[in-house]
Amino acid sequence: MADVVLSLPHEMRGELKDPMGAIYTDAADLIAEAGDPIVAVGDVVTYHLLEADRRPDVALVDGKTKREAVAEAVWDAIEGFDHRVEVANPQATLSADLLTELRAAIDRAADGETTVLVVEGEEDLAALPVLVAAPDGASLVYGQPDEGMVLATVTPEVREGALDLLERMDGDPARMRESLGLD
């Protein structure tokens, strides 16, 4: 059973529909614009970055796309990371394990080590703590269904907006901050 820190209230779901950055359909174009480190949330975007010869510094995957299993070729391609960590994270939540391991993965990225977090459950909401925990200039890449890959750059303003969303979720915002090393 996952130790849930935050859960997304139904009334906030609409706030997360709009992309948080530019949408790309070509991974090479996205990579040319991306900063370091690159954090990928989602199996398909991770696959596209790997196919374009750019291993994300941190990748979060769950074996699914649009709630269906990803193609075997996609899943099989997600390999070669320095670290592979499994975490439990139920749908529409952020668990203590996910937050703590995300922080550790971002820290390892600063030392040049790559990490894939294999999520049992769902990784979709992880984009928000990435924007809060990653350093200024880092890139978040995630999928926008039926449109492409979103590239969001971490800035103080972006971090503040993501933190506001996280702190309005149900649960324990203070514990979220502690898990991400913000206090």
Annotated binding site for GTP: 43-45, 62, 64, 123, 146
Q: Which of 171, 131, 176, 179 is nearest to 151 (CA)?
A: 131
Residue ranges for the binding site?
43-45, 62, 64, 123, 146
Q: What are the tokens at 139? A: 């890139």
Which amino acid, one-letter code, is at 132?
V
Q: At which residue do the structure tokens 């614009």 appear?
A: 33
Measured CA to CA, the distance from residue 37 to residue 123 in angstroms comes to 19
Measured CA to CA, the distance from residue 70 to residue 66 in angstroms comes to 9
Contact 86, 116 (CB under 8 A): no
